[in-house]
Amino acid sequence: IVFTTDGLSSSVGLLSQTFLASIGADEVLAPIATWDAAGNCINNNPLHFITQYSPFKTEAEILQQFQKIPGQTGTRIVIYNLRMQEGKESKPEIDFSEDAHDFRIMSDLDETTGLPTHFSRERPFQKAVDVPIDYSLRAYLSVLYMRPLINDTILR
């Protein structure tokens, strides 16, 4: 569940496999509720799904999470109810131990070498095998929140 605020409004979005399975979704749907600066819920229809499928069971509990974001703007991500890997004893799908500052999709052991491998997916024309945005939340978010380093200007 993702909480974000820009000082003028606050929003919460639910990314939940349990929710998607329960509604029989064929694509990713994320209920999002938003409040204005005065604390009025602008679109409360998704609030029912968020309180039903998240650990926050009331609107008040959700609003308390925004108070935990330091400053006027920011994002808070709460990860809960992780699935366990199939065939793995007590190992969640997310690895919190490999890097103390990152959440990573759990590695599997390569059948030929026996060494841990990162989750990866092939893309057309992809040359690199190790692509951190495939398995690292930190790398993925760095792309989402990246500031462009190039400033293009057209002169006439």
Q: In the predicted model, what is the mean pLDDT of residues 20-42?
A: 93
CA proximity to 3, closest of 61, 48, 49: 61
State yes or no: pLDDT of 127 exceeds 80.
no
Report the pLDDT averaged over residues 20-26: 93
Q: Which residues lie closer than 8 Å to 139 by C-beta, 6 or more apart?
A: 102, 132, 133
Considering the entire predicted model, what is its pTM?
0.71
Place of tokens 């509604």: 23
Q: What's the average model confidence in pLDDT over 75-92?
A: 76
The predicted structure's pLDDT at residue 33: 96
Identify whether the C-beta of residue 3 lies closer than 8 Å to the C-beta of residue 69. yes
CA distances from 56 to 35, 50, 64, 152 (A): 16, 8, 10, 45
Q: How many angstroms from the chain centroid is the CA of residue 77?
A: 7
**CA distance linking residue 134 with residue 118, whole number of Å:** 8
Q: CB count, 10 Å around CB of 54?
A: 21
Q: 90-116: per-residue pLDDT in tens?
A: 677 777 777 888 878 776 666 676 555
Exposure of 71 in the CB half-sphere (CA atoms within 13 A): 6
